[in-house]
Structure 1
Amino acid sequence: MVKEERIRGGLAMSVIAIVCAEVLRRVGDAGFLQDGHVSRVLKILQYAASTLGYPTLFFLLGMSTVACLQRSRAGLLKSIALTVLYPYLLWSILEMAVQWLVADYKDYAAEQFELTRLASAPVGQFWFLYALFICQIVACITVWPRPVRSGSALTMANRCLLVAMVLVSAAVAIRSHWGVATMTCWGLVFFLCGMLLASRPARQSDRSPRPRVALATAVAFIAAAVIGQRSGHYLDLYWLLASLLGVAAEVQVGRFLATWRNSRWIISIGSSWKPVYLLHVLATALVWNALLALGISQPVVHFVLGSATGLALPIAIHLMTKRLGIASWAAFEEPAEARNEGTAFSAAAAQRADKTAKSRA
């Protein structure tokens, strides 16, 4: 349970960073971040959120994929279809329809409504689901974990293969400009790193949190964000190193969220990370257009209200769909069948681990 809360806490921090980065990107593209101390701070925050959000999300989902593979390879493929492919197709079509309707209403040119483009050109933020689908298929092909009762999930040969794939993916991502292919390589770096961390023996992965280590990594990441923002470059070697440092900081901080009583609200956001991710662009766009219609251009106002709405509105919609019993149809949650299978597997794994410990004793 503690480990699950750590992951949910990390998911919450990741999706908060994604929402903040989206709001600040829109504010920066509009030219509202000019000279001044406030604009300088917001630019640093945008760089930090960009290097932290999606990379950590790939990393955490890579960690959870190892357990899914140990459970059942066929089950993982089914989960990919229900929780990645289905949301990608559903919400890409919905967002394309919204863009087409808005373009027709506002009387400006829009891209043609073509479903075939989803196979090679993801819409907006849904490039993440596109890349995640490829990452999980690569994992299904290349990763062959040991049974749950084994001390380490992966063999040394499998770990070496993953390390080699991380290095190749990082080299391609840094040197290429191939659109979604480059972004998929970026995601694969962090996804495979998460699998490597999750494959460690249980006695190493369940260590108690260390305050000094968490504080040191957080300070190092902040310093990297301050330095990196000055260069103004994204998706380069320094951006990769800063993202890895941010992932390390978030993992360390996430260890405290499971034990800190006042962090329950953050963990609750982690339970709704998928609807926030799917709806945050539309939610923040509503606030953006409303503030512009009122003649408000202060970047701090846009940042605060946009970020708050980008989190609160999707969570409210998620709770409403849960009450109506259609959350899984809206791709906000896993189907009940998949959740029950995961619970049964966890209980069985715990029983096997307990029997193994007793036999060794």
Structure 2
Amino acid sequence: MPDGALAADWPATAPVAAERRRALDVARGIAIILVVWGHAMIGTGRAVGAGEAGRFAVTLVYAVHMPLFFFLSGLLARGAMAEPAAAFARRLGARVIHPYFLWSAVLLCAHYAMSGVTNTRVERLDLLSILYAPPAVMWFLYVLFFCFLIARGLRDRPGARLALGCALAVGGYFLHGWMLPNLRFVGIFLIATAFTPAAALAAARDWRVRAVGLALMIPPVLFALGAAGQAPAGYPAFAPRYLPAAAGGVVLILAAAQAIERRGAGLALVGRRTMPIFVTHILVLTAARVLCLRAGLDGAATVVIATACGVAVPMVLHALAARWSLVGPLGWGRG
């Protein structure tokens, strides 16, 4: 597996590695760009206000991007689930635990130091809070840790994984407090482990499956249009009515990734650099947004420039880290 990938991209067993195609890298590239774009829209909207078009886009992006990421993570987890316990623990430490604690500390310190210009204010620096309150985007790695533990525990019971996954994917919407609503993403991860990469890609190529995926997207799009008149309260698209977008979005993006696979070398490269982009893009977006707004740019231009910087700057940082043999220590994959 390529270096610098998100923690979900574990070195796989030979059969899984043979099935994996560049289309999955393209899909991951699309997913991380959606993540960066969504955060750029939210950050800029909070700073200068967001119109209905912006709120519609944010809701739709949030209905799709993290379900897609967790599905791809589960799809690529089969090799890790089959590893011996010691190897599994080492990889979990290197690919999830290490980057989580390192970059959680970096983000928490950065938010504390820059509370005057960031949308996230940290009044008191408490690094121990990382143990139970993931800062900013680091909740993804926090939840991913439990995804792998549960999938590993049920590795010989595919039926139980699928049943639990379906229950959590729906039930998470009705849970409140601490991290419990994120159990819906654990469910999506577990559902994905029921598929091989080859099977998921083949299904997305079937016109009937694509038609179902498109049909599933129609109600969430209409709901997002209806909700665009007011700012979302809490996490955008957090309601059971948006659940069909999780399935429909995965199908359509996997289909699109295969359609542009041969021309998507750039997106594939982005997909192989999701970890450095994911853990640093919030800092890059903050700097880009502040500079753009101080330069007098409007919200739309700020979102475009910030998104481009949020993807490109971390990729440059990864290239420099690779040159200086820092990729591993930074938690961005194998050095």
Question: Which TM-score bucket, shorter chain as reference?
Answer: 0.7 to 0.9
Aligned to 1:19: 36
For the 8 Å contact 1:10–1:270, the answer to whether it is kept is: yes
Aligned to 1:342: none
Aligned to 2:224: 229
Q: Could you list the per-position Cα deviations for residues 59-112 of structure 1 after superposition, in whole angstroms to 9, with x for gaps in the alignment?
A: 111111112222434322211110101000000111111122224899x97332
**Number of residue pairs matched by the alignment:** 309
For the 8 Å contact 1:214–1:252, the answer to whether it is kept is: no
Q: Could you list the per-position Cα deviations for residues 31-62 of structure 1 after superposition, in whole angstroms to 9, with x for gaps in the alignment?
A: 5323xxxx52x333222221222111111111
For residues 105 and 52 of structure 1, what CA distance do their matches in structure 2 show? 29
Aligned to 1:147: none
The structure in which a higher percent of residues are helix is 1
Aligned to 2:111: 99
| Superposed CA RMSD | 2.6
Amino-acid identity (%): 18
TM-score by length of 1: 0.78
Aligned to 1:270: 271
For residues 224 and 299 of structure 1, what CA distance do their matches in structure 2 show? 28
Amino acid at match of 1:216: A
Aligned to 1:357: none
Aligned to 2:248: 245
For residues 22 and 219 of structure 2, what CA distance do their matches in structure 1 show? 28
The within-5 A match list for 1:64-83 is: 64-83=76-95
Q: In the superposition, relative to structure 1, how do residues 300 and 213 fare at CA in structure 2: closer, same or farther (>3 Å)?
A: farther
**Which structure has the larger Rg?**
1
Between 25-34 and 111-120, report the one with greater CA deviation. 25-34
For residues 163 and 215 of structure 1, what CA distance do their matches in structure 2 show? 22
The alpha carbon displacement at 1:163 in A equals 2.4
For residues 57 and 109 of structure 1, what CA distance do their matches in structure 2 show? 27
Gaps of 5+ in 1: 145-157, 336-361
Aligned to 2:26: 9
The within-5 A match list for 1:112-261 is: 112-144=124-156, 158-183=157-182, 185-198=183-196, 204=199, 207=202, 210=205, 212-213=207-208, 216=211, 219-220=214-215, 223-232=218-227, 234-257=237-260, 260-261=261-262
**Secondary structure at 1:196 match in 2:** coil
Q: Which has the higher contact order (CA 8 A, sep 6+)?
A: 2
Aligned to 1:153: none
Does residue 318 of structure 1 match 2:322?
no
Does residue 60 of structure 1 match 2:72?
yes
Gaps of 5+ in 2: 1-17, 228-235
Q: In the superposition, relative to structure 1, how do residues 225 and 305 fare at CA in structure 2: closer, same or farther (>3 Å)?
A: farther
For residues 32 and 104 of structure 1, what CA distance do their matches in structure 2 show? 18
For the 8 Å contact 1:173–1:235, the answer to whether it is kept is: no
The alpha carbon displacement at 1:322 in A equals 0.8
Q: In the superposition, relative to structure 1, how do residues 120 and 231 fare at CA in structure 2: closer, same or farther (>3 Å)?
A: farther
For the 8 Å contact 2:216–2:247, the answer to whether it is kept is: no
Q: Could you list the per-position Cα deviations for residues 295-341 of structure 1 after superposition, in whole angstroms to 9, with x for gaps in the alignment?
A: 33x22102211111111111111111111111111111135xxxxxx
For residues 246 and 53 of structure 1, what CA distance do their matches in structure 2 show? 8
Following TM superposition, the consecutive aligned residue runs of length 4 or more in structure 1 with deviations greater than 6 angstroms are: none
Between 312-321 and 111-120, report the one with greater CA deviation. 111-120
